């Protein structure tokens, strides 16, 4: 479970990105975080995997208290989270297989376990035939599939996706969403920040709307209603 209570995030330049956010997300939910550029949704996403520390309030992810935890504990938190970004963040000199395997190597999984799991997740995202390709040899959609495979290879309880379809055409975006839907059906919590109105309205889930740092709407099976 993820729990935020009166979460405030102030940046050194004086901007307050989050203003008293209260939010609870249960295990297995699929939640969209929507809002205009500058609304605070990306900041909110970053606080969940502690790329950003909150200024005040309470934030808990599973058994981790992100306010009280020491920096040395952060890698253990992130082992329970999979994170997917708009710009893929693949290592350019590694193949698709090696990019995914790297996520398991850094936590010292056994080689035979790595090989089996990497092939399994690349097959799940439809890339078993391209495991030896480098990122430069893959389309944007294929690179995002590799990024998703890397994010789920350690079987995280939570998948965090920050604009995962932002650089993709509509057909490819739908293919990516079908993969994320299947991941959610395995009881993985999905939290997805997005500007994509079509995605939100076609793949219906809970919708959290952020505006000027405030949580202004929380709709079960909601729709994207754009507000400037």
**Residue 132 pLDDT greater than 90, yes or no:** yes
* Residue from 57, 58, 63, 100 nearest 80 by CA: 63
For 32-90, how does the pLDDT look when each residue is reduced to its tens digit (9 = 90+)? 999 998 899 999 999 999 999 999 999 999 999 999 999 999 999 999 999 999 899 99
Q: Which of 7-11, 13-17, 165-169, 213-217 has the lowest mean pLDDT?
A: 165-169
Distance CA 45, CA 35 (A): 12
First to last CA, the chain: 31
- Half-sphere exposure at residue 44, Cβ-oriented, CA atoms within 13 angstroms: 37
For strand 81-85 and strand 158-162, is the pairing parallel, antiparallel, or unpaired?
A: parallel
Q: What band does 159 get if pLDDT is binned at 50, 70 and 90?
A: very high
**The CATH number, out of the four listed (3.40.50.300, 3.40.50.1980, 2.30.30.280, 2.30.40.10), of the domain defined by the range 1-80+157-228:** 3.40.50.300
Domain limits, the chain: 1-80+157-228, 84-155
């Amino acid at each position: 479970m993820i729990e935020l209570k009166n979460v405030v995030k102030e940046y050194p330049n004086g901007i307050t990105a989050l203003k008293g956010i209260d939010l609870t997300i249960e295990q297995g939910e699929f939640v969209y975080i929507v809002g205009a550029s500058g609304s605070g949704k990306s900041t909110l996403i970053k606080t969940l995997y502690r790329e950003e520390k909150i200024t005040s309030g309470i934030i808990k992810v599973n058994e981790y208290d992100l306010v009280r935890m020491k920096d040395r504990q952060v890698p253990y938190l992130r082992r329970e989270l999979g994170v997917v970004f708009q710009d893929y963040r693949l290592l350019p000199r590694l193949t698709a297989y090696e990019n995914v395997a790297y996520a398991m190597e850094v936590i010292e999984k056994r080689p035979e376990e790595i090989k089996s799991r990497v092939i399994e997740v690349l097959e799940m995202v439809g890339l078993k035939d391209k495991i030896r390709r480098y990122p430069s040899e893959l389309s944007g959609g294929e690179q995002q599939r590799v990024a998703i495979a890397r994010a789920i290879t350690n079987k995280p309880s939570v998948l965090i996706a920050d604009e995962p379809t932002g650089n993709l055409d509509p057909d490819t975006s739908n293919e990516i969403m079908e993969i994320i839907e299947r991941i959610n059906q395995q009881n993985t919590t999905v939290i997805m920040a997005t500007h994509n109105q079509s995605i939100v309205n076609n793949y219906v889930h809970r919708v959290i709307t952020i505006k000027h740092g405030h949580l202004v709407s929380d709709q079960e099976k909601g729709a994207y209603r754009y507000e400037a």
